[in-house]
Structure 1
Amino acid sequence: MNKKLASFAAGLLAVMMLFTSCGKGGKTTDTSKKDVAEVVKASNPSKMPDVSKNRKDTLIVGTTAPSGKFNPIYSDSVYDSWVVSLVFDGLISNDEQGNPTPLIAKEWKISEDGKTYTFTLNKGVKFSDGKEVTAEDVAFTFTAICDPSYDGPRTDAVSSLVGYEEYNQDKEGKVKEVSGIKVIDKYTISFTLKEPKAPAIYDFGYGIMPKHIYNFEKGNIKALKDKFLSPVGAGPYLFKEYKAGQEIVFEKNPNYWRGEPKIAKIIMKVTNANTVIQELTTGSVDVDRIPSKPEQIELVKKAEFLDIYSYPSNSYGYIGWNLRDEKFKDKKVRQALAYGLNRAGFIQAYYKGLGDVCNAPVSKVSWAYTDELNKYEYNPELANKLLDEAGWVKKEDGYRYKDGKKFTIHWMTYTGSKYVEALTPILIENWKQIGVEVIPELMEFSTLAQKVYDEQKFEMYNMAWSLSIDPDPSGIFSIEQDKLGGFNSVGWRNEESERLIKEGLKETDMEKRKQIYHQWVKLANEELPYLFLSYAKDTYAVSSKVKGLRLSPFTDWTYDIHKVELVDVK
């Protein structure tokens, strides 16, 4: 449901639609029927190594190392979100086309004015400790995000609720509840917004936490955060063990309310770009994302027992620069760096026809995408001109200086990524040619995420966004997210952007909303809060013994995981 940050070392996850389920006040979803994954079946499943054939009750999924934020209101990476999806269920989910579907909530209604969402819960849904899920647990989960001490990235899901400001800004504990959250009875709860919000339903996909386990005194959310490594929810799997940097182990929840999972154990095993193909082809990993590169795909095909899933990625790769830093404040500098990087050359060299240059913070699978953008095609001459205009003077040593300071960028990036390995020499050399020195600083992805989001101590970094179903950019680019722990780590504060974001959230006419987002996309393309890099396909290798995975631009391997099974291969 939410936007998540990701590395290109492993998996990534924008189609939104206006809709109403079981009620009035909205329109049905129009997803333009995005395709689910194309699947190339294994040519000879019998070639499966014995180590995999004999592993009949355990699914091993490759992952980049999570950061350990195993909580539905704090997880901020794809990999932590996989853990959350296995352990927690939310009120709603979605299908392969991005349409919202019931989950813990069996139905919902939207009021005539579009402001109140009333959810009716399924009865008999239980947390893994046997306690029933009730409306009180739902209220607790969303009230926690409203807490004055909350420092995670989910604020956009609750900030439009009636009573949010009163509860959030009350530091003395006098305001006991959020007035827009109403527990009607044990199985019914309503949420009232200050004004209509077109994609509001997707705010209710976050996992529901048991109040009796996670409860904390208002203003002391640390008590909840202390339970990051012992998550308990109503999902299909039980969290059993976490070895940082190595693996996370899960066992099936035998009392899962939608039916006992077919696979007894799941292990998320940490892999990287240097090991992923070997892990897959030797059978030590059953599912993992592979680089969308012809030579990598060919290696997987040669193993003969692996299925290959591919689909347009609802994501993009980017470089983020700290806009609080003087050298990045001038738009001309950011544009010069865009013109000065041969992105097309890099993408062709890396993806070999399976990737595209990205010029906007929205996926090509989204209805909000427009191609009417500045392409920033490689142009060192124009880059030099813009840097001259910005006052950066090139000296005898070939580098640029301003106010006595050399134009040096410390670039934080992550280890274990072929994408980074391919980008690094191109970026360093291209920018050296226009007088900019780049010093890479490599670290584990989880460390990078902490420095970028929790501390905001960086000059430049690169990551990728796994986008939400709705293209609303407020969760990443709103001024509200410019805070420690928020997703607007680069500190982009643009009043026109804020105006368009707010207009887009209010507008319920699909065509009008599309035009608003087209304006916003063009603004971001001009202002460059990021240097947009690449689009690619998501490609997964999956052992032919694994049946029932639901992979698409809007669903990952955890969706309906209780239905996935391991079959014997002869």
Structure 2
Amino acid sequence: MKRRKSWLLLLSFVLVLGVLAACSGKKPASGDDDKSKGEPKKGGTITGVMDTAPTGLFNPIFYTEAYESNILSFTHEGLLSQDENLGFIPNLAKEWEFNDDQTEVTFKLEEGVKWHDGEPFTANDVVFTYKTLASPGYVEAGGVRVNYVERLLGYEEFSTGKTQEFQGVVAGDEHTVTFKFAQPNVMALPDAAFPIIPEHVFKDIPIADIPQAPASRNPNEVVGTGPFKFTEMVEGEQYVLSKHADYWKGEPKLDRVVWKIVDQAVILGLLEKGEIDFVADPNGVQPADYETVADMEHVKLIEQPDFGYQIMGMMMNHRAKGDTAVDPSKWTENKKLSNQKVRQAIAYAVDRQGIIDGLLYGRGSVQNSPIATQFWAYDGETPNQYKFDPEKAKELLDEAGYVDKDGDGFREDPQGNKWVLNMNYPTGNQIRERSAPIIVEFLEEVGIDIELRQPKETAAYFEDLENNSQDWDLYLMGWSLSSTDPDPSGLWASTSGYNYQRWINPDSDKLLKEAVKPPDAFEQDYRKKVYSDWQVLFGEDMPSLLLYAQNSIWAHNKRLQGISVLPSTFINDPHLWYVTE
């Protein structure tokens, strides 16, 4: 434990710098700078940056990372979009109507929409997308988005192969499609908002082969209806999107959008030199660089609460090696973290506000709920707030029987055995990388022996997390949340493909189901109460510690105009983006 003081001293030093920066902070621009506006230039290329390369799976039904999402946000679309208040607005569907008992919703689709390869978009594409999500073999192939289809009529029978009839989504004609649900569905519009993939491209490819198919991987073979096509790639270095001239909302003003992959340390210099035009999701401008960017006259800053958070996951159960299905009955308990008091002690031991003040320069917030703060369902008061309290952490560990019996400064388990928790984390996000050893020091301060493993490249890390994490205990990662509904079951239900901590809690699953169960769920106050109860339960069982919600700090060169951000994303209506020089 000799080395721990160095990191705590470093955090204190950085914290002071953060406070000084916050005291002298400038506010980001609140609107377009009139002086920067000029006549829209026809065509042109803009360049954005990501600090981590996409893993290379550019298919909405199978991708798992925000880096792929940066590409797909330009190439693919759903029936619905959202406005600045998170309300649903028309997109590929121009209007919709519910039946009397809320078990069906019928969409009228836009006519004249073309896929990137020139084929017409029809209701059959919608049916095909949802049928694929619901099909047997989807989860086994790596699919994790069954939450969009599990409420559809006949889902269980179809997904298990008991019937080959798919009843949930039905085409009335080429431009009419009806979603049918097993019962009145408060989540009908969020369920129907998933990006659509082309039937004519994928219909003859077995589901197991779709993730590796050229149409899911290669430039000029990834086909969507969006305003830009994915046309070029130097893997790990550059990804090029070219305008879809026949885009149904009108020809995009820009010719190309180029994503470059560069180390986070050099992004600031590129922005200052004008060599890149925007820095946005998933990591944006680093808090330490805020003041520097604010002083760049040619750059506009946008800051708002993030629609996501960073977590330290606690691996409560392990999945069998090679088991690709999400089957909690086959998981084995991780006894090193099975005691609830141990998980609560870990939460008390980490000074999360200190990390925010130090590494984020105060541009973030402690969050104790997995529901985004922008949603009406977020409860920031009732759940245990887990304020930094190392003495409370020590007390809980003592109560759980984890005490230092051999005098080495670290606790043994209740049987007197050596107790070491490993921590795993990926490269790419510098703040997360810097937080890892600091978190270790906090845990060691209360007597928990931590093995900090070498970080892995992002693609390899998430592959291990999904399939080969049988000996993991703690892990760091970030979640970007869906903006369509506060329902957290897509990440935290026991059968969710994203349930990486392998959390099994019947009371949690029950509350998550009750929150969307009709008829009560059609009353927002009812859902709010159920979600409050769930957030309290989450805090008690503590399957993961939410470390912080970093503010989204986005920046773009003022030559880039037409930007209209949403609460959850910088990329909104990019066909309207243009450059003035």
Counterpart residue number, 1:13 = none
Q: Of 459, 465, 482, which aligns to 2:479?
A: 465
**Whole-angstrom CA distance in 1 between matches of 2:372 and 2:105:** 28
Residue pairs, 1:477-488, within 5 angstroms: 477-481=492-496, 486-488=497-499
Q: By how many angstroms is 1:447 displaced?
A: 2.3
1:223-238 alignment runs, 5 A limit: 223=210, 225-226=212-213, 227-230=215-218, 231-238=222-229
Q: Does 1:510 align with 2:531?
A: no
CA deviation after TM superposition for structure 1 residue 523, in Å: 1.0
Q: Flag structure 1 segments of 5+ consecutive residues without an equivalent.
A: 1-36, 47-52
Q: TM-score, normalised by structure 1?
A: 0.86
1:193 aligned to which of 181, 184, 188? 181
Unaligned runs of 5+ in 2: 1-27, 318-333
Aligned: 1:428 with 2:440: yes
Is 1:278 aligned to 2:278, yes or no? no
Query: 1:125 aligned to 2:138?
Result: no
Alignment counterpart, residue 521 of structure 1, candidates 535, 538, 547: 535
Structure 1 segment 17-36 matched on structure 2, within 5 A: none
- Specify the alignment match of 1:441 in structure 2: 454
Alpha-carbon deviation of 1:552?
A: 2.8
Q: In the alignment, which residue of structure 1 is the partner of 2:395?
A: 385
CA distance in 2, matches of 1:557, 1:288: 9
Paired AA for residue 199 in structure 1: M
Displacement after TM superposition at 1:454 (Å): 4.5
Q: Residues 23-422 of structure 1: matches in 2 within 5 Å?
A: 39=30, 57-63=44-50, 64-151=52-139, 152-170=143-161, 175-216=163-204, 220-223=207-210, 225-226=212-213, 227-230=215-218, 231-289=222-280, 295-324=288-317, 325-370=334-379, 371-394=381-404, 395-402=406-413, 403=415, 405-422=417-434
**Which whole-Å CA distance do the structure 1 matches of 2:308 and 2:84 have between them?**
15
Q: Is 2:148–2:194's contact at 8 Å kept on the other side of the alignment?
A: no
Aligned partner letter, 2:488: P
Change (3 A) 1:466 1:423: same
**Structure 2 residue 530 is matched with structure 1 residue 544:** no
Structure 1 counterpart of 2:366, which letter? V
Distance 2:580 2:549 in 1: 34
Quote the offset at 1:83 in angstroms: 1.3
Q: Displacement, 1:518?
A: 1.0
For 2:43 and 2:271, locate their aligned partners in 1 and report how far apart those are by CA, in whole Å.
Answer: 16
Aligned twin of 1:475: 490
For residues 353-400 of structure 1, what are the alpha-carbon distances to aligned partners after superposition, in whole Å with 9 as ceiling and x for unaligned? 322211111222221112222121122222112112222221311112
Aligned pairs for 1:543-562 within 5 A = 543-554=557-568, 556-562=569-575
Contact 1:43 1:305 (8 Å CA) reproduced: no
Provide the secondary structure at the position in 1 that maps to 2:522.
coil
**CA 1:183–1:261: 2 relative to 1, 3 Å:** same
TM (norm. structure 2) is 0.84
Structure 1: distance between partners of 2:392 and 2:351: 13
1:532 aligned counterpart, secondary structure: strand
Look up the SS of the partner of 1:360 in the other structure. coil
Amino-acid identity (%):
32
Distance in 1 of aligned mates of 2:270 and 2:151: 46
Describe the superposition over 1:319-349 as per-residue Cα deviations: whole angstroms up to 9, x where unpaired: 1111112111211111011111111211111
Identify which range, 285-294 or 420-429, moves more after superposition: 285-294
Cα distance in 2 between the residues matched to 1:473 and 1:527: 16
Tell me the amino acid that sits aligned with residue 59 of structure 1.
I
Q: Distance in 1 between matches of 2:123 and 2:80?
A: 14
Give the conservation status (yes or no) of the 8 Å contact 1:472–1:501: yes
SS of residue in 2 equivalent to 1:502: helix
User: 2:554 & 2:355 partners in 1: Cα distance?
Assistant: 22
2:501 corresponds to which residue? 490
What SS is found at the alignment partner of 2:97?
strand
Write the distance in 2 (CA, Å) between the matches of 1:54 and 1:180: 46
Counterpart Cα distance in 2 of 1:74 and 1:335: 34
> Among residues 435, 455, 466, which one is paired with 1:453 in the alignment?
466
Q: Deviations over 1:96-153 (max 9, x none)?
A: 2211111111111111111111111111111111111111111001100011111211
- Secondary structure of the residue aligned to 1:320 is strand
